[in-house]
Amino acid sequence: MNYFPTMNIHDDPAALKALQDDIYREKVLRARKQSPAERLADAFEITNFVFGNMLAGAMAQKGITTESEGWEEVRRRLERLCRVHDHGRYAAEKPLAA
Amino acid sequence: MNIESLAAAVLDACEAASVTHMLTGAFATSVYGIPRSTKDVDVVLGVTGGDAFEKVTAKLDLIVQFDPQIQFDTLTWGRRLVGTARTPPPFKVELFELFDDPFVQQQFQRRRKLYSAQIQRETWLPTPEDVVVQKLRWGRSKDLDDARDVIAVQTPEALDMTYIEDWCGLHGTKERLLKVLGEIPPL
């Protein structure tokens, strides 16, 4: 599909959906070419890369100059994220009726 | 420490404690779907009751600090224990105890082996069908995306869709299955 650089694709729901489908299709077809072990290896690599970016982002945003302080900020952010993601999903006690 | 070193350490701890196990969560999803990042290593321990948590966490004590409080998921009331790597990056480890739930039991029985060069060992994983059923059961937006991705990459033709549909019927998640199938564009 061709996209014209002057158009704002968000103004055209059909074009936006077509672009989203194109991007998704490319991801799926790439994954299909990989073996299960290769996909697992990619997940490891992406995770390490993302954590590196989280460290760089936290240090830049907070003006932190040492990695240890940067990781502490990342840890705090992850704890907050976990609380949001897990809200209502976990309980400290199992009800008697469950 | 990188995430694969932590995953290897958790699997080693299970082996050393003679606790059967299965890698789940984002890594299991990535094996069958579109690889993605995660914040944690999720492992199901193949023991119901007893002291499996204690045995495995004791083996990991030098590298992972576990919360003292065991948690229950409010969907199935399975038990979960969460830990954080003692050294950066602050990866999480989540241990789940096998429990008396027909699907969870069958999922564990059907697990299969995969060799990973990154962790230099074989690991046990759920089948792709069981990943889909599990993700549809949890039903968070990220879970539904994972289920869609596994179906899209594996293709409905290659998956045992009857098995998936049967469990979705029992779990009341058939509408979710239809929704994620409808989200897959022509490939």
ipTM: 0.94
- How many beta-carbon contacts under 8 Å exist across A and B? 118
Q: Please name the residue that has the structure tokens 């003692």.
A: B86
Q: Report pTM.
A: 0.92
Q: Can you tell me the distance from the alpha carbon of B150 to that of B140, in angstroms, rounded to the nearest whole number?
A: 15
Other C-beta atoms lying within 10 Å of the C-beta of residue B74: 15
Other C-beta atoms lying within 10 Å of the C-beta of residue A84: 7
Residue A67 placed within a domain? yes
The shortest C-alpha distance from A59 to chain B (Å) reads 14
Say if residue A3's pLDDT is above 70.
no
Q: Which of A2-16, B79-93, B113-127, B160-174 has the lowest mean pLDDT?
A: A2-16
Judge whether B65 and B88 are in contact, CB under 8 Å: no
Residue A92 placed within a domain? no
B104 is written with which tokens?
């969870």
The shortest C-alpha distance from B39 to chain A (Å) reads 7
Decide: helix, strand or coil at residue B181: helix
The shortest C-alpha distance from B59 to chain A (Å) reads 23
Give the total number of structural domains in chain A: 1
pLDDT for residue A59: 97
Residue A58 placed within a domain? yes
Residue A69 placed within a domain? yes
- What share of chain B in percent tops pLDDT 90? 88
Residue A8: band (very low, low, confident or very high) from pLDDT cuts 50, 70, 90: confident
A45 is written with which tokens?
């690599």
Residue A4 placed within a domain? no
Structural domain for A66, as ranges: 11-84
Closest partner residue to B116 (CB to CB) among A37, A47, A74 is A37
Q: Is A31 on the interface with B (CB under 8 A)?
A: yes
pLDDT for residue B49: 67
Residue A90: band (very low, low, confident or very high) from pLDDT cuts 50, 70, 90: confident
- What share of chain B in percent tops pLDDT 70? 99
Q: Which domains does chain B carry?
A: 3-126 (3.30.460), 130-183 (no CATH)
Residue A5 placed within a domain? no
Nearest to B184 by CA among B56, B31, B33, B78: B33
Q: Can you tell me the distance from the alpha carbon of B23 to that of B7, in angstroms, rounded to the nearest whole number?
A: 9
Contacts of B42 in chain A (CB under 8 A): none
Say if residue B9's pLDDT is above 90.
yes
In angstroms, what CA-CA distances link A14 with A11, A18, B97, B111? 9, 6, 46, 41
- Listed in sequence order, the residues at least 6 apart from B49 whose beta carbon sits closer than 8 Å to its beta carbon are B97
Q: Look up residue A49 and give its amino acid.
A: F
How much is the average pLDDT of A54-72? 97
Residue A94 placed within a domain? no
Say if residue A2's pLDDT is above 70.
no
Quick one: how far is CA A73 from the chain centroid? 18
Ordered alpha helix ranges (H), chain A? 13-32, 36-62, 67-86
Mean pLDDT over the full length of chain B = 95
Q: Please name the residue that has the structure tokens 């690889």.
A: B35
**Tens digits of per-residue pLDDT, B79-132?**
999 999 999 999 999 999 998 899 999 999 999 999 999 899 999 999 999 999
pLDDT for residue A92: 86
Q: Which of A18-22, B38-42, B45-49, B59-63 has the lowest mean pLDDT?
A: B45-49
Say if residue B31's pLDDT is above 80.
yes
Residue A53 placed within a domain? yes
pLDDT for residue A5: 65
Q: Which of A2-6, A14-18, B144-148 has the highest mean pLDDT?
A: B144-148
Cβ of B27 within 8 Å of Cβ of A40? The answer is yes
**Tens digits of per-residue pLDDT, B177-187?**
999 999 999 98
A15 is written with which tokens?
């074009």
Say if residue B133's pLDDT is above 80.
yes
Nearest to B24 by CA among B121, B101, B104, B140: B104
